[in-house]
Structure 1
Amino acid sequence: MSSSTRTTGPVSGPAADPVTGPILILDDLRDGRMHLAALFIAPKGTAVPPVRLESGTMQPELLAEYETRQVLRARFALPADRPSAYQWNGTRYDLAGGFGGDMRIAYASCNGEEHGDLDRDGGERNAMWARMGAEHRAQPFSLLLHGGDQVYADEVTDGHRLSQDWPDRIPRDPAREDLAGLRRHLRERFLQRYLAVYSAPELAWIAARVPSLMQWDDHDICDGWGSLRRSRTYSPVGQTLFAAAREAALLFQHGCRDGGLPARFTDPEGTHLGWRIEAPGLRLLAPDLRSERSRRRVMARGGWRMMKAAAEQRFAGRSLILSSVPLLGPRLSLLEALMVLTPRMQKYEDDLRDQWQSRAHRASWRRMLRLLRDMAAQDGQQVTAISGEIHLAARGEMALGGGKVLHQLVASGISHRAPPRAWAKVLGMLSWLGDAPLPGHPIRIRRIPGQAGRYAAERNYLVLERQGADWSASWELETSGRSAPLAL
């Protein structure tokens, strides 16, 4: 499986240190074509072969350099509505296409763990990626959505005196040269994380054959980014950490850098990293819930402007809203209040403040739900939210009126091991209380077809399928297997 994605073949350079890639990223959909970026991570001095198409060749261009590595990208376009292929380094990579007709989309999140992730056994860690690859061989996916925490960067701050004790203790006024050293340290550590993830043969195989779209979450920066106290996130060390994480996300998740963001981004300047993609009968909206986040807000002006414009736009078909943290869930504000009162539990406060249901974000939560309600009120439009973040599989519903329902589909933990089943039961009990942040629109947590509880504590990924005008969702669960399709 790995020979076609990590190869030494005719590539010139150190034979023992192969090129990682291609990692295929969907830059945009327009004029009936997929505009793609193929990403490569190579040892410095390596000559990376061109991408070959029927229409010609595209030579990878340099995006960034590190101490011993370089990051390159080749951009090209292929038909969006039918199967196609490209070649690299003697291997042909077939793509399903299918935008505009019957299609299948895979969704995964939480690709790692907070501690010791790079030391895990690869076969155990990437078992669900291997399963997704086997499924793609049998029934190809048109698109792969990554819903947050593509890497777990919690340990990148280790090993440098300015950030070693992040976020508990940091220097107030570090010297400029020390911050420059920290930046170099963090850049190399982020590279190490992405290189390890993209070199895994189970992920690399499918990532070369299915275009990816990615949305970041806190672990792509650090645990709880945006929910930590301002004295941490706005400190010189905190801002250096964010800048390094953002540069890495642009490079490795989006195949770009500042000044050259793909057209799908709604803010060309990158103040926030929200994006949108439109195809016949399908719209994907991915607001950035991290760049503008603070302890008192989820998004700032740029993010809300993006979502307001999308709600007002006329669109016929299915709108998929990628919300890295679930939009519909139990009344976590009750648990949050209990934790604040319990000193031993206060360390988990940031995790709950990350959620839309936090007491600190309830007004923002209502605002987002109203926008989705207004979006779904348009004739011919259906709205579905997909999320990760909680390391469980789950689903919820909110009645929107007019016979329409907002479905919330949660698939979380493609490689992160599942939490204890007791935690799933706690959330299930909280869900019995119900919630209605918008009067007249109650939220209900429903069981995944075939599951006894409302939350499934198994590693998983989600499959969305369109046949004709009908959409369905099913979960691939590590132990339980494939759930029955849920009509949307």
Structure 2
Amino acid sequence: MTTDQTSGTLLVGPLLRRIAGTKATIWVETAHAAEVEVRAGDAGGHATTFSAFGHHYALVVVEGLEPGSATPYDVYVGGEHVWPLADSPYPRSIIRTRGTADAETQAKLVFGTCRETTQHATTRRLPPDALDAYARRLMRNEGDPEAWPDMLVLLGDQVYADKTSPTVRQQLKARRLPHHGLQDDVQTFDEYTKLYLESWRDPEIRWLFSTVPSVMMFDDHEIIDDWNSSAAWRADMQREPWWAERISNGLASYWVYQHMGNLAPDELDADALYPKVASAGDATEVLREFAERVDKEADFGHLPESWKSRQYQWSFAIDLGRTRLVVLDNRCSRVLDPDHRAMLPSAEWSWFLSQAHGTTFDHLVVGSSLPWLMPPAIHHLEAWNERISASKRPRVAAFGEKLRRLVDLEHWAAFQTSFEAMADLFRVIGRSSDGPASISVLSGDVHHSYVARAELGRDIPTPVHQLTCSPIHNQVPSFMRPLMRIGWSGWAAVIARGMAAMTGVRTPSLRWHKSGDGPYFGNAIATLTHRGLEARVTIEGTTPGGELDTVTDVALTTR
């Protein structure tokens, strides 16, 4: 397998990002400034590229698609036909629109997180890539409409800026002085682009992204490990001479490569940044100023005036028939003041509440890069750590902070106010007479996969589940696996809960337990399927031969 799949003027892409009604968006990176055109039967669209830091991009809105259709498409750059690639062994890239009445009551979401570059580009021998395996299966079943998902939901660590491949490290070494502070980490916008170039040119992945709509949300490794874990962490980073450039370029590149494509065709003009970027010609300064501004969000999110001064909202919502998907930013906009820690600032939480309530959908799906429900013992450990890290005794606080960073104690459990607010929200929604048939939280990050059922109260008929699928292509160290299994044991939970109680942490207002098999520690991809009022999740792991095999299959509803 080779990742050097170029078509001359088309460097990366095309990525089919959003389909909304009879419109779709196609994202591309080109080698030079040009007019980009997409033709899909009688439908089509074109856009002029914009430049950023010497690179060239376009997001083309394709209009005039037929409802309920499957239409092959072609991409032209400067009049040159660049996609499909000449002599491509893969099926044609197709835009599939929803349309029939039955389709409105059905939805299929494929999700996962944590994908390092493909095997040959890494120093470790990782198990087969689950996304590669999924792409190959779709190719074999291209004529079967039931095989195709409505959307691919990637919830973090699409690239690793702090764990680069040998290829990228060699490139960094060639351009840096020996004393450079970051060594093998990326820093400039151009260096970030190499991560996407390496990852998204994987032939199977390139084909998959060109024909299955996708949405994406960052986690920490798009920037750096432990990103925004605490106020103390931010203070330490801000003292580093390389940090300002690192975070600015990381956020700018994320917006270009991932977030821009999350916007629906009709949302582009209303976005706070897209019109400025698309019309700037050279958007370098626009993106640099934007990134510097939004990074400051975590420093001021606890102030009362932050309600009116939101810089940007990375979270977004999508309706797929009778399924509502709300994807939350778990990183950039955290409130980190020790006395007001929260996953989201108040204005964005208010927006989330407005999206989670409603009668126009049968299923609520929350995308969260970090699991809401962790193994119980680990949950109590994180709650305990949050409390001691805020201690007024400097040595205790320093110990808590060191432990937090050492073992990544920074999930929803480490933001107890937000954890309980999520539980309260699900109780209100689930108790309503016209509430959804199911509530699911999709997550990753923790390098193992599991399904957990939340017990919120006997008077709440709506089932609530945590669905965690991670990694797509990575690996948890072997010595960590027994510890993660122990996290589900009752005796470990009792001990950890006792520690938390000693520091004044309240008992959680809910219980939860693992459903189905697991936890599973291999590379995996998960599928959440809604049919009418029924919901089911299937987690599939890769075999040594690179195929997919079911490791757990759980019915989430009993209706």
TM-score bucket (shorter structure): 0.7 to 0.9
Q: Provide the C-alpha distance between the structure 1 equivalents of 2:210 and 2:51, rounded to a whole number of angstroms.
A: 20
Displacement of 1:233: 4.4
Give 1:58's aligned residue: 45
Give 2:542's aligned residue: 478
Among residues 135, 138, 157, which one is paired with 1:136 in the alignment? 138
Unaligned runs of 5+ in 2: 76-80, 85-91, 142-146, 274-310, 390-395, 498-504
Give 1:274's aligned residue: 315
**Equivalences for residues 431-442 of structure 1 within 5 A:** 431-433=488-490, 441-442=510-511
Give 1:352's aligned residue: 408
Q: Provide the C-alpha distance between the structure 1 equivalents of 2:533 and 2:262, rounded to a whole number of angstroms.
A: 37
Among residues 81, 104, 113, which one is paired with 1:100 in the alignment? 104
Displacement of 1:297: 3.0
| Of 313-322 and 211-220, the range deviating more from structure 2 | 313-322
2:296 pairs with 1:309: no
Q: Provide the C-alpha distance between the structure 1 equivalents of 2:221 and 2:269, rounded to a whole number of angstroms.
A: 21
Q: Provide the C-alpha distance between the structure 2 equivalents of 1:163 and 1:371, rounded to a whole number of angstroms.
A: 50
Kept in 1: contact 2:68–2:97 (CA 8 A): yes
Kept in 1: contact 2:330–2:344 (CA 8 A): yes
Residues 243-294 of structure 1, C-alpha deviation per residue, up to 9 Å, x if partnerless?
2111111111133699x99729997466230100113211000111112125
Give 1:196's aligned residue: 198
Give 1:394's aligned residue: 450
Q: Provide the C-alpha distance between the structure 1 equivalents of 2:431 and 2:533, rounded to a whole number of angstroms.
A: 18
Q: Provide the C-alpha distance between the structure 2 equivalents of 1:161 and 1:367, rounded to a whole number of angstroms.
A: 48
Among residues 55, 71, 74, which one is paired with 1:87 in the alignment? 74
Displacement of 1:125: 7.4
Change (3 A) 1:57 1:308: closer
Give 1:461's aligned residue: 525
Change (3 A) 1:145 1:2: farther
Give 2:301's aligned residue: none
Among residues 204, 207, 210, which one is paired with 1:208 in the alignment? 210
Change (3 A) 1:224 1:140: same
Displacement of 1:327: 0.5
Secondary structure of the corresponding residue to residue 324 of structure 2: strand
Amino acid at match of 1:377: R
Q: Provide the C-alpha distance between the structure 2 equivalents of 1:64 and 1:218, rounded to a whole number of angstroms.
A: 26
Secondary structure of the corresponding residue to residue 276 of structure 1: strand
Change (3 A) 1:283 1:344: closer
2:59 pairs with 1:70: no
Give 1:177's aligned residue: none
Give 1:320's aligned residue: 365
Q: Provide the C-alpha distance between the structure 2 equivalents of 1:101 and 1:425, rounded to a whole number of angstroms.
A: 41
Among residues 13, 16, 24, which one is paired with 2:16 in the alignment? 24
Displacement of 1:368: 1.9
Change (3 A) 1:284 1:195: same
Change (3 A) 1:321 1:438: farther
Give 1:410's aligned residue: 468
Secondary structure of the corresponding residue to residue 370 of structure 1: helix
Q: Which protein has the larger Cα radius of gyration, Structure 1 or Structure 2?
A: 2
Kept in 2: contact 1:265–1:273 (CA 8 A): no
2:486 pairs with 1:429: yes
Change (3 A) 1:437 1:328: farther
Residues 333-371 of structure 1, C-alpha deviation per residue, up to 9 Å, x if partnerless?
55456898897994663653321112xx11121112212
Q: Provide the C-alpha distance between the structure 2 equivalents of 1:22 and 1:58, rounded to a whole number of angstroms.
A: 14
Q: Provide the C-alpha distance between the structure 1 equivalents of 2:410 and 2:373, rounded to a whole number of angstroms.
A: 14
Residues 138-166 of structure 1, C-alpha deviation per residue, up to 9 Å, x if partnerless?
21222111011111111589776799436
Q: Provide the C-alpha distance between the structure 2 equivalents of 1:208 and 1:149, rounded to a whole number of angstroms.
A: 20
Residues 292-330 of structure 1, C-alpha deviation per residue, up to 9 Å, x if partnerless?
125433221232122222244344311110011000112
Amino acid at match of 1:43: A
Kept in 1: contact 2:359–2:435 (CA 8 A): no
Among residues 28, 32, 35, which one is paired with 1:44 in the alignment? 32
Q: Provide the C-alpha distance between the structure 2 equivalents of 1:233 and 1:70, rounded to a whole number of angstroms.
A: 31
Displacement of 1:242: 2.3
Secondary structure of the corresponding residue to residue 196 of structure 2: helix
Kept in 1: contact 2:48–2:58 (CA 8 A): yes
Change (3 A) 1:366 1:266: farther
Secondary structure of the corresponding residue to residue 299 of structure 1: coil
Secondary structure of the corresponding residue to residue 195 of structure 2: helix
Q: Provide the C-alpha distance between the structure 2 equivalents of 1:429 and 1:373, rounded to a whole number of angstroms.
A: 29
Kept in 1: contact 2:40–2:71 (CA 8 A): no
Residues 37-78 of structure 1, C-alpha deviation per residue, up to 9 Å, x if partnerless?
212222236x575210233542342133444x4222222244
Q: Provide the C-alpha distance between the structure 1 equivalents of 2:221 and 2:318, rounded to a whole number of angstroms.
A: 24
**Equivalences for residues 114-129 of structure 1 within 5 A:** 119-120=121-122, 127-129=129-131
Amino acid at match of 1:370: D
Displacement of 1:215: 1.1
Amino acid at match of 1:75: V
Give 1:487's aligned residue: 555
**Bigger share in helix:** 2
Kept in 2: contact 1:51–1:87 (CA 8 A): yes
Residues 382-430 of structure 1, C-alpha deviation per residue, up to 9 Å, x if partnerless?
211110101111111112343322111100111112432x423322222
Kept in 2: contact 1:109–1:146 (CA 8 A): yes
Q: Provide the C-alpha distance between the structure 2 equivalents of 1:218 and 1:253, rounded to a whole number of angstroms.
A: 14
Q: Provide the C-alpha distance between the structure 2 equivalents of 1:43 and 1:334, rounded to a whole number of angstroms.
A: 51
Change (3 A) 1:264 1:44: closer
Secondary structure of the corresponding residue to residue 213 of structure 1: strand
Q: Provide the C-alpha distance between the structure 1 equivalents of 2:355 and 2:506, rounded to a whole number of angstroms.
A: 22
Q: Provide the C-alpha distance between the structure 2 equivalents of 1:36 and 1:193, rounded to a whole number of angstroms.
A: 26
* Residue correspondences, number: 448
Q: Provide the C-alpha distance between the structure 1 equivalents of 2:471 and 2:71, rounded to a whole number of angstroms.
A: 31
Q: Provide the C-alpha distance between the structure 1 equivalents of 2:463 and 2:195, rounded to a whole number of angstroms.
A: 39
Q: Provide the C-alpha distance between the structure 2 equivalents of 1:461 and 1:366, rounded to a whole number of angstroms.
A: 28
Aligned CA RMSD, in angstroms, stands at 3.9
Amino acid at match of 1:276: A
Kept in 1: contact 2:429–2:435 (CA 8 A): no
Kept in 2: contact 1:331–1:357 (CA 8 A): no
Unaligned runs of 5+ in 1: 168-181
Displacement of 1:218: 0.8
Amino acid at match of 1:316: F
Q: Provide the C-alpha distance between the structure 2 equivalents of 1:323 and 1:352, rounded to a whole number of angstroms.
A: 16
Change (3 A) 1:76 1:126: farther
Q: Provide the C-alpha distance between the structure 2 equivalents of 1:37 and 1:63, rounded to a whole number of angstroms.
A: 16
Give 1:368's aligned residue: 422
Q: Provide the C-alpha distance between the structure 2 equivalents of 1:108 and 1:444, rounded to a whole number of angstroms.
A: 21
